[in-house]
Structure 1
Amino acid sequence: MFDAPAPAIVDRMLAAQQHAANQFGLRATGQRVWGYRGRTLSGAAGPHWLRVVCAEAGAEGGKLWNGPSTSRALPSSVPRPDLYRIRDWTTDAYAYRAELYAFAPDPIVSPRPVLDEDPGLPEAWWKDMGAALEVLAEVPPPTDREALREEYLRRVIPQFTGHQVDAVTWTTAHGDLHYGNVTRGPHIVDWEGWGRAPYGYDAATLYLFALLVPETAARIRTELAPVLDRPEARTGLLTVCAQILQAQDRVDFYGELAGPVREQLAHL
């Protein structure tokens, strides 16, 4: 998903990946999927998928660290690879967690979070994804997990979109539902940031992250209309717009989306 980090981080994380594979009695195949700045390293290990996450010693724990393990309590009808086992260990400077997953049999939809071309997803895919989002939204929002804080969205929405925020309808969301985190199954992966978010936030992410392919975005807007047409979804849409515009100068694909997002804001 991200480029490889600095060589020293690469060496350290590869050693951690090998240690984790040994703990599980498996062999890492050499496939490497890097997280942001090398904080995570994932790849195949035998018939499974192995993810290693790292933090400075003493800084482990918290929402992102425990997101995948706590997501196991979500309904099984939300399609995601099973998390089988977890191993924690520390060194003098770093803490590590290894998570062993079932291997999703289908590839991710896009190597980037945004769509650069029509992925050709069938109608059944959207039906299944819509059903999964509906089930997830019906889960009572957890009190100890916030995908987004209310004070954050009330600050960034007016600042970056020019719109105001009225009452917020809160639901449970994946929190990072882009096209690099969904497979053609569909399965939804990377649950570290799940929690409370404005209604429609996940659907808005799928829609707005497709704006570089206008015909596909129009189709997605239709497929997700049962969510996005509801008045309470407006805050979820505005939140994703604000996040894109806030980060447009720091993240390339957000910069690419900024123009189409401004066009969307003119219609909200």
Structure 2
Amino acid sequence: MPASAAVTVDLRTESVDAVLGRVERSLGVQLDRSTEVRKRRSIGARTDRGTWVRIERRARERIDGQGWNGVECAAVLQGVAMPEWFAGLAWSDPDDGSMWRADETQLVTAEPMKPTDRAELPDAWWATLTESLDALAAQTTTRVATPDTVTISREVVAEVIQKAFPEAGIDISLDEWATAHADLSWANLTTPECYLLDWEDWGMAPRGLDSAKLWVSSLDVPEVAERVRHERRGDLGSRTGKLMSLFYCSKLVPYVDEGAAVRMEALRLLEELESPR
């Protein structure tokens, strides 16, 4: 089957026993099925040697020239609170035009963040997050970030913003770039200790990409959004950071009511960005 015709699979509902068996044989581990965490295109589980294995399926057209070994490549990053990487493997499935990858990493016992956890985070947690994002941004890489498996670019950002606000007359020049996680959702952060999980999409991105995503996803809890804005004020206050904030707001604007916080923030950002520099 051609790669472009890859079948859409939801791993939350599909049987993947053969895939799990292959991973176990290749890595020399036994997966604890009772600890499985299933998402649409990934599965994670503990192993019998006290590690964690994450398995991802991706259509071939979603894999560009830099590869998709982001978790492995992230092992070189310094000063970032993240699981240590140990081993990995990848293979092609000729039947449905997809690629599979498995990575064995340090088992982090801190739990992925739940929505109710966000308002109760201590100062030490925020300090770790800020230090990690600052350390990450200071490093360089040849990788380009792929948020939502799409390579970030000026054209991608412009298309999203213009779809939500076709009359917007702003300059979408992305002047500042820095290394980013590129999938900094609350579900990819842990508590009580702060770790950043799921590194498959990291790379160079417009400044503030991570901070903007976390801020926009916090707008339903104003005090948390304000804390994100305070902690990441350097990123979010920059012009490129404002464009990233508008980018993530614009993804949601078509699906919210007129008075929704994300729409109001998007309009504020548009006004600021339309003002002379």
TM-score range, shorter chain: 0.7 to 0.9
- Say whether 1:194 aligns with 2:194: no
Deviations 1:85-122 (A, max 9, x none): 11234454254322111101211112xxxx35644111
Which whole-Å CA distance do the structure 2 matches of 1:152 and 1:60 have between them?
Answer: 15
Contact kept? 2:211, 2:228, Cα under 8 Å: no
Residue 145 (structure 1) aligns with: 144
The offset of 1:226, in angstroms, is: 3.3
Change in 2 beyond 3 A, CA 1:35/1:199: same
Change in 2 beyond 3 A, CA 1:95/1:193: closer
Change in 2 beyond 3 A, CA 1:23/1:117: closer
The number of equivalent residue pairs is 247
The letter of the residue matching 1:5 is D
**Structure 2: gaps spanning 5 or more residues:** 1-8, 147-151, 270-277
Which whole-Å CA distance do the structure 2 matches of 1:29 and 1:258 have between them?
Answer: 46
Q: Matched residue of 1:267: which SS? A: helix
Deviations 1:216-265 (A, max 9, x none): 2223222322332234421121121122336x4xxxxxx59992211112
The letter of the residue matching 1:84 is F
Residue 89 (structure 2) aligns with: 87
- Say whether 1:164 aligns with 2:179: no
Contact kept? 1:53, 1:98, Cα under 8 Å: yes
Q: Which range moves more in the overlay, 192-201 or 159-168?
A: 159-168
Change in 2 beyond 3 A, CA 1:32/1:64: farther
User: TM-score, with normalisation over the residues of structure 2?
Assistant: 0.78
Deviations 1:71-98 (A, max 9, x none): 22322x1111111011234454254322
Change in 2 beyond 3 A, CA 1:208/1:25: same
Deviations 1:185-209 (A, max 9, x none): 2111111111222111101111110
Q: Which range moves more in the overlay, 88-97 or 194-203?
A: 88-97
Identity, % of aligned positions: 24
CA RMSD of aligned residues (A): 2.8
Residue 251 (structure 1) aligns with: none
Deviations 1:25-68 (A, max 9, x none): 322111222232xx321111121111122346x76853573222
User: TM-score, with normalisation over the residues of structure 1?
Assistant: 0.80
